[in-house]
A and B are shown apart, each in its own frame.
Chain A
Amino acid sequence: MEIVDKKNSYSAGPDENGRFGLYGGRFVAETLMPLILDLEKAYGAAQQDPAFEDELIDLQTHYVGRPSPLYFAERLTEHYGGAKIYLKRDELNHTGSHKINNCLGQILLAKRMGKTRIIAETGAGQHGVAVATVAARFGLPCTVFMGATDIERQKPNVFRMKLLGADIRAVTAGAGTLKDAMNEALRDWVANVDDTFYIIGTVAGPHPYPAMVRDFQSIIGKETKTQMLEREGRLPDSLVACIGGGSNAMGLFHPFLDDAEVNIIGVEAGGLGLDTPDHAASLAGGEPGVLHGNRTYLLQDDDGQIIEGHSISAGLDYPGIGPEHAFLRDSGRVNYVSATDAEALEAFQLITRLEGIIPALEPSHALAHVSKIAPDLPSDHLLVMNMCGRGDKDVFSVAEHLDVEL
């Protein structure tokens, strides 16, 4: 077993109060407080139970198709003429993104807790599809809250969720995007405390969600470590992942946080540019605040009112970010940057042509940053980018952005 000095570890959080330094916590209404304490207890017990892990591993292997490949992107590497680029292929998972990793863990927990109804929020619909999928697999009724605006721009995913038997609730409050969907899911949970399990899709929300979702997603980083050691005989030099709430990034980063030689980069959604109000870069353009159960960086105005994020990607336009990312930013362990809508759109097209992989718009942001740094890195620099989702869901909106009539 690896011995980690907790005091000098970046990966030891959260503390018993769910804090990552200043961030995290349990900022919920009293009605929910007993529920999240129960959840924390049940999750702790599940972690100690080998049967829980066995069932999870079995499903990851035979249902999801893990481990996902670590693919050497030869043509992309040639194109940039610098760093050796690997893609962690989580877009090949069942349902087409990394979201299923977390959903499987949480639905097994829901089952252990005797819950009989599942609720979830979704932005791009990737999490919603993954939740609807595991709910179908385990025979539990499932309600997905989705902003009305997002329903409009993610129609394929909406239909997939309906096929899977989920009840889709359109949320018209606010701008009708992910933040509002999460508010509505919390309202539903408060009203259905006895039977309902809320599967949060990202590393945010009240403790223990940020740590629990991270743990379920860290299979990405653990596999990457093993695969890279097999392929190259050493750890990667850089990791790059996109960030909305930050679950795919946390999953890739976490197993590497205490490997000081690994350079870690998170890419936020720069929207129309950080110098405009239309972006979703909470770390670059936000301030610490409290929303959806945790303290973290939030896009907010001078009076502490939350501002809607903007991104071409419905999965990234959340005005907050997971609290562990806020901690990693302040501590300087992870370097957070951003990529704009236009840069992501260009990267989307490039990788599609060069590698025959149509990425989701979310990881296209990570790739956009790779395109900025890869050319100047030496050819023995090992760079891993998390290809956390596939782009089938985005082809219609990309066509629209490129003025292509389908």
Chain B
Amino acid sequence: MADTTQTRLDTRFAELAARNEKAFVAFVTAGDPDRETSQAILAGLPEAGADVIEIGMPFTDPMADGPAIQVASQRALKAGQTVVGTLDMVRAFRADNDTTPIVLMGYYNPIYHYGPEKFVAEAKQAGVDGLIIVDLPAEEDEELCLPALRGGLNFIRLATPTTDDKRLPSILTNTSGFLYYVSIAGITGSAAPEQNAVASNVARIKGQTELPVVVGFGIRTPEQAHDIASIADGAVVGSVLVETIADNLDADGKAQPDCIKNVLLLASQLASGVKK
């Protein structure tokens, strides 16, 4: 039933595999701290070394996120970010870049409210490649996962330390693009993952799927990114990037002149860690 056309994600992971390289997946929240700054960060991420960009869709109640991404969402919402605004940002990004895959990560309510079918069609048209929706487990696949697959988007599922072998097949069934392994039982930006535990879980998952397995949650430094990438197909880094945005705001919450530069500098350091 899924649209079998290759997405940019499929192409990108195939290229990386051919070069024997790991993926650096960079996360930022759409519209944080404002639309213009956020758009400039997006535009600079590919050159800084991001193989895949994950764009957070801000939500008032981000239950799986730690303080860093919670406040990033609040900054974006305060600056007026909307679902339509996020799709517009993807469109603007695509005007100059037709190769770097974009994955939207968020919570279901804003999409449900917008209308799942309409959202999928407009996201595809804007140049989105995949969706990660935190509060849609496999049990709720009819809500958005199946419409997204039919509409030619990848639906990327999270597997976690609580996902045992019995449950894994039901998660893999409708997953495409890549599988996102959540390194810890916890929220984003928490404690560093334990290397051995992650390694054995990634190996366990790879035994059951051909999909690339990318690991995220708790990765903050180029060294950690390197360690994680060495045992998986890639590493996702988010909280430390949005914290860098927070660190480069003035007292009124406006981006200071070096904000974009500093975020992209950190991104390039993290990318070097992954590629080392």
Distance in angstroms between the alpha carbons of A303 and B85 in the assembled complex: 11
- Neighbouring A residues of B77 by C-beta, 8 Å: 305
Q: Are the C-beta atoms of A287 and B134 separated by less than 8 Å?
A: no
- Contact-residue size bin, chain B (C-beta under 8 Å from the other chain): 35 or more
A56 within 8 A of B: no
- Neighbouring B residues of A81 by C-beta, 8 Å: none
| Interface hit among B6-14, B88-96, B145-153, B157-165 | B157-165
Fill in one digit per residue for A176-192: 1 if any B CB lies within 8 Å of its CB, else 0: 00011001001100111
Q: Are the C-beta atoms of B60 and A31 separated by less than 8 Å?
A: no
Given contacts A183-B61, A193-B162, A304-B111, contact A30 B137 (CB under 8 A): yes
Given contacts A34-B167, A289-B112, A305-B60, contact A29 B134 (CB under 8 A): yes
Distance in angstroms between the alpha carbons of A308 and B78 in the assembled complex: 15
The 4 closest A-B pairs by CB, nearest first: A304-B113, A304-B110, A191-B186, A31-B160
| Interface hit among A20-28, A352-360, A397-405 | A20-28
Distance in angstroms between the alpha carbons of A298 and B108 in the assembled complex: 13
B203 within 8 A of A: no
Q: Distance (Å) between the CB of A304 and the closest chain B CB?
A: 3
- Neighbouring A residues of B107 by C-beta, 8 Å: 290
Q: Which of A29, A34, A298 contacts B158 (CB 8 A)?
A: A29
Given contacts A186-B63, A191-B186, contact A291 B164 (CB under 8 A): no
Q: A179-226: which have CB < 8 Å to B?
A: 179-180, 183, 186-187, 190-193
Q: Which of A186, A191, A289, A300 contacts B190 (CB 8 A)?
A: A191
Q: Which residue of A lies closest to B137 (CB)?
A: A33
Q: Distance (Å) between the CB of B48 and the closest chain A CB?
A: 29
Q: Which residue of A lies closest to B66 (CB)?
A: A187
Q: Which residue of A lies closest to B191 (CB)?
A: A191
Q: Are the C-beta atoms of A27 and B108 separated by less than 8 Å?
A: yes
Q: Distance (Å) between the CB of B15 and the closest chain A CB?
A: 28
Q: Are the C-beta atoms of A31 and B182 separated by less than 8 Å?
A: yes
Q: A278-320: which have CB < 8 Å to B?
A: 287-293, 295, 298, 300, 303-306
- Neighbouring A residues of B161 by C-beta, 8 Å: 31, 193
B43 within 8 A of A: no
Which secondary structure characterizes the binding site on chain A?
Answer: mixed
Q: Which of B60, B62, B113, B137 contacts A28 (CB 8 A)?
A: B137
9 CB contacts below 8 A, A to B, read: A29-B135, A31-B186, A33-B167, A34-B164, A179-B61, A191-B184, A193-B161, A305-B60, A306-B61
Given contacts A25-B140, A30-B171, A190-B187, contact A303 B159 (CB under 8 A): no
Q: Distance (Å) between the CB of B96 and the closest chain A CB?
A: 27
Q: Are the C-beta atoms of A33 and B61 separated by less than 8 Å?
A: no
Distance in angstroms between the alpha carbons of A303 and B107 in the assembled complex: 12
B109 within 8 A of A: yes
- Neighbouring B residues of A32 by C-beta, 8 Å: 162
Distance in angstroms between the alpha carbons of A135 and B185 in the assembled complex: 25
Distance in angstroms between the alpha carbons of A291 and B110 in the assembled complex: 10
B139 within 8 A of A: yes
Q: Distance (Å) between the CB of B122 and the closest chain A CB?
A: 14
A44 within 8 A of B: no
